[in-house]
Amino acid sequence: MAYVAASGSAPAVRLNLPFIIGASSVGTLIEWYDFYLYGVLAAFFSKHFFSPQLDPNIAFILSLAVFWTGFLVRPFGAIVFGHLGDLIGRKFTFMLTLLLMGASTFVVGLLPGYGTLGALAPVLLVLMRVIQGLALGGEYGGAATYIAEHAPDGKRGLYTSWIQTTATMGIVLALLVILVCRLGFGDQAFGDWAWRVPFWISAVLVLLSIYIRLKLEESPLFARLREQGKASANPAKESFTSGKNWGLIFLALFGATAPEGVVWYTGQFYALFYMTTVLKVPYVTVYILMMIVLTAGAPFFIVFGALSDKIGRRNIMTAGFALAVISYWPVFTWMGTFKDNPFVLGILVFYMVILVTMVYGPIAAFLVELFPARIRYTSMSLPYHVGNGVFGGLVPLAGASIAAATGTALGGLVYPIAIAALGVVVSLAGLKSRTDEVKIWEEVGGPPPLVPDQP
């Protein structure tokens, strides 16, 4: 059932939570699909956008470096679009980021390669990755804040955890579309030109998402904040000139989002790279295995999000960091031992996905509750995207580089294990165990009274 807020002269606000969560999540899922197409197809970009004179391993590492540029600029997108979101509104901002992501992804599918443009080809590719990264830097914070500011106190972990499934399901969608295209066009055609098709498909998905999101209204909490004259006149300045706020940002970064980011990318993306490039498992087997495991693991984002409403966000996330520290080395060792056994590989990857759900399921609610409403979009977006974009996004590149430098395939795990260990120390020492007790509606005098919407 839909509800409207009876808020005097203020415009009515629809509070149909299932539709709000669905519309926000579908858009975010499509943005993740767009963003991760490149990661899954990094090997193809290394062949088409870099000089054929380069050693293939160097070209692949350069391709991963281009992948990382999208992550590297996400914090800047968080600042720019977070500022707009706190100044203008949540809905306008995450509509704008969706348009930017869709346009840049479609252009990637049209870009000529090195054979046509020479050195300009990788430059244009980097430019498109930068636009994608900036857009995603604004998207997640907007969607997470939007859902959180509709959710009732006491159930914020449950409701925001739905948007946490979108990054994982975005990978599943990317893998599915790529697998269908590779099998449908054949390896030769796909390698020559059909790798572009998944990028073209994104245009249709983005238009569908825009149509759905146009039906959304502004966050009721932000609308109340603006009505009461409590909205920030300069969110970026207010966020980044406060020593107290910087303290919260650094605690969020090193105690939550950076370790969460490396666990996320190790359990999902690095595992995929490791099976295909190190263990040489056939790509069809890896794609199908990852799609099954990621889909089976996705409900646990909601499980741990809901559980965090009861026992605290930090407690669950820290347990996930600690398990990653002590288990990554044996898990990847066993992956090498059982590389010819998809069932065992699936169990091992599923275990790592469960760790991902532990650290990622509660993170949106945790960040929303850490910062005040007037600067929430700006403040939460920065540590999220530095942690996930810079630290987490570096996992594939760091892993491949360390492994190449040391000659040890497992050497790449040193980086995520070290960051996860740092997260255990900082979270236990500096973060409150029960930020879930924060009542964000109190900032605007309590939630608006609800009356049934007339059919």
Closest CA to 396 of 70, 173, 16, 133: 70
Q: What pLDDT shows up at residue 275?
A: 94
Q: What pLDDT shows up at residue 10?
A: 42
CB 379 within 8 A of CB 239: yes
- Given CA atoms 188, 192, 194, 196 in this order, what sign does their dihedral have? positive
Residue 84 φ then ψ, to 5°: -65, -40
For 446, the token pair is: 């309590």
User: What are the start-end ranges of the H helices in 274-386?
Assistant: 283-297, 299-311, 313-337, 342-360, 363-370, 376-385
Q: Which residues sit opposite 450 in a β-bridge?
A: 5
What is d(CA 34, CA 45) in angstroms, rounded to the nearest whole number? 15
Q: What pLDDT shows up at residue 256?
A: 95
Domains of the chain, start order: 14-223+237-446 (1.20.1250.20)
Q: What pLDDT shows up at residue 231?
A: 73
End-to-end CA separation in angstroms for the chain? 10
Residue 451 burial by CB count (10 A; 0-12/13-18/19+): exposed, middle or buried?
A: exposed
Alpha-carbon dihedral 51, 56, 60, 65, rounded to 10 degrees: -50
Q: What pLDDT shows up at residue 132?
A: 86
What is d(CA 380, CA 198) in angstroms, rounded to the nearest whole number? 31
3-state secondary structure of 120: helix
Q: What pLDDT shows up at residue 6?
A: 42
pLDDT digits (tens), the chain, 455 positions:
344 444 444 444 445 778 888 887 887 787 778 777 888 888 899 999 999 999 888 898 898 888 888 888 888 888 888 888 788 877 788 788 888 888 888 999 999 999 999 999 999 999 998 998 888 777 777 778 778 877 877 888 998 898 889 888 888 999 899 999 999 999 999 999 999 999 999 888 888 888 887 887 777 777 777 777 777 778 888 888 888 889 999 999 999 999 999 999 999 888 988 999 889 999 899 999 999 999 999 999 999 999 999 999 999 999 999 999 999 999 999 999 999 999 999 999 999 999 999 999 999 889 888 888 778 878 888 898 889 878 998 888 888 888 888 888 899 899 999 999 999 999 999 887 766 556 666 666 665 544 444 43
What is d(CA 17, CA 139) in angstroms, rounded to the nearest whole number? 19
- pTM for the model stands at 0.81
What is d(CA 373, CA 86) in angstroms, rounded to the nearest whole number? 8
What is d(CA 163, CA 145) in angstroms, rounded to the nearest whole number? 10
Q: What pLDDT shows up at residue 8?
A: 42
Spacing of C-alpha 165 from chain mean position: 9
Q: What pLDDT shows up at residue 409?
A: 83
Spacing of C-alpha 183 from chain mean position: 28
What is d(CA 126, CA 121) in angstroms, rounded to the nearest whole number? 9
